[in-house]
Structure 1
């Protein structure tokens, strides 16, 4: 498995170029643990696409979490729910990953209430860039997948103490869902400012 060093800027440019070559409505996933900053990369890819003249919108998965009454039904630190029950997959399929207008954000998890966001009309050739964690292995309909992989030690060092309970979930995710194998572009992100990519 051969990786080549790159930069965050060059990585965003590479993903935008790949998406730009695809016709019709294009859906891109940028997946990775929070310390790898998939949201920052997803926003950069969407911005690069807009600079290239392609309609694009960045959508953060964390804006499509289920309400707290459902998400935290079994407690704040339930690993099974964090892996499979926090994300509102149905809303993503309905509001983001279809062929119609895109709702950029749905649920404010901090305030536990709906956003009042307006739909974005991307037309037939627009690109949706969905970013976040634990997104793969769900059968989401997408045309391009990038996975930001962090090794166990690096992820442990970069995860804040209050979020360390999630570390076993990310280990399970790598083992059970094989996000690295599902990715079109695999990025080693132990040092997020000095990534290396394969694909």
Structure 2
């Protein structure tokens, strides 16, 4: 709301007719900026090589997200503005990439909640922390991101506990099995049987009360 077409034209050294011809209106111009922002954000995500520890990959992805926000504050605020008319495909790709990491955690038997819920929890907390750090006049807390990240990771994953220590939260067997079956369908099952098995596991993930 603080961006004026006139200011944009002056900064870009073009006339208003050129801008309107290229983008149509202010909303479309801002949507193009958001597209560019997500493309920059996804460039590093696409280049990242998965490690053997998906939980650490989740932590690293969180840190990269916050680092991008701090490096591109104005663009990041626009990317996650509630006033944005719609989410670009790149934003959906970012969520799919996060979900992929969560699915690897589930397949490793270390996820304590359903995949989509875990992805939504991580995304909401990650974006919330980033926007909090960018809030005008906010007192920067260098430990805030790490503290929230560790709390969320602890909430959705099982810990690696040394031998002899009490076990922490247990993984969800239904989530683990459902994720593994999605990537490696059981041999000898018909499509109908596989679909029924997924339905049953989904009911176990989300029991009715």
TM range (shorter): under 0.3
More strand by share: 1
Q: TM-score, normalised by structure 1?
A: 0.24
Q: TM-score, normalised by structure 2?
A: 0.24
In our comparison, the structure showing a higher alpha carbon Rg is 2
Q: Could you say which structure has the greater relative contact order, defined with CA pairs below 8 angstroms and 6 or more residues apart?
A: 1
